[in-house]
Structure 1
Amino acid sequence: MQLRLVGIGLLTLALSGCANWGFNSNVSPEGVKDYYKGDGVTLYSKAELTEINYVTLGSIEGEACQVAANEAPPKDADARASIRRRAADMGANGLLLDRCIRFNDMPGCLEQVLCSGQAIKVAD
């Protein structure tokens, strides 16, 4: 019983020593909100839009870039996420994706994926 009380006392002391420690993160609530705002933008094909009432808001682009050689190559999915966030910034709830193209040795990027398309507002 006495050993058990000593163990509980040591555990309490150890945990209370961590009470003043803080946790810092590079992810802010605003950053998370910005990252996920493209989730409300649906990707459409031209065939899907033939039966849907929509308005084109404008042409947009999204990119993913590899800046340094020790970074992973850019992913098409990251470029598509970028274009969807930009579409959301324009008030779009849909995106007609034209194409994604991979480039090498672009200014500021060792490798880049660039996606282009049309931001659209689909009627409810």
Structure 2
Amino acid sequence: MRLLGLTLAALTLSGCAGWGFDSNVSPAGVKDYYKADGVALYTKAELEGINYVTLGSVEGEACQLASNEAPPREADARQSIRRRAADMGANGLLLDSCIRFDDMPGCIEQVLCSGQAVKVAE
């Protein structure tokens, strides 16, 4: 009886061996999403005495487009600004501020973060 159970389990599992997995996420999309991981957040105090170059101002946003969507999160706006800093070649970000706005054109509510993209010597 035990042998019959093992045989049926093996046949069932081998029947699934030809199945594939399709995703709507492209390898480029995954790479774009995770590129912000290479950008560290710094305070002015942390950058004192460290060799770095300011690459320019950068902004990131999170937007609530429809009333049935969740309100925008500051964490999403910070992730957006870090991705944009990475696009500029930065490995660091000096975050100035994140501000929440109501009734912006195109957004019911919006979180906007601004800062400076920096390249810190390693």
TM-score (norm 2): 0.87
Aligned residues between the structures:
122
Indicate the residue corresponding to 1:78 in structure 2. 76
Indicate the residue corresponding to 1:25 in structure 2. 23
1:24-60 deviation per Cα after TM superposition (whole angstroms, max 9, x unaligned): 2233332222112112212121222332222211111
Matched-pair identity in %: 79
Q: Distance in 2 between matches of 1:21 and 1:70?
A: 36
Flag structure 1 segments of 5+ consecutive residues without an equivalent. Answer: none
Indicate the residue corresponding to 1:107 in structure 2. 105
Question: Aligned-pair RMSD on alpha carbons?
Answer: 1.7
Indicate the residue corresponding to 1:44 in structure 2. 42
Indicate the residue corresponding to 1:5 in structure 2. 3
- 2:90 is the counterpart of 1:119: no
Indicate the residue corresponding to 1:62 in structure 2. 60
CA shift, 1:99, in A, is 0.5
CA shift, 1:117, in A, is 0.7
CA shift, 1:63, in A, is 0.9
Flag structure 2 segments of 5+ consecutive residues without an equivalent. Answer: none
Q: Distance in 1 between matches of 2:24 and 2:14?
A: 26
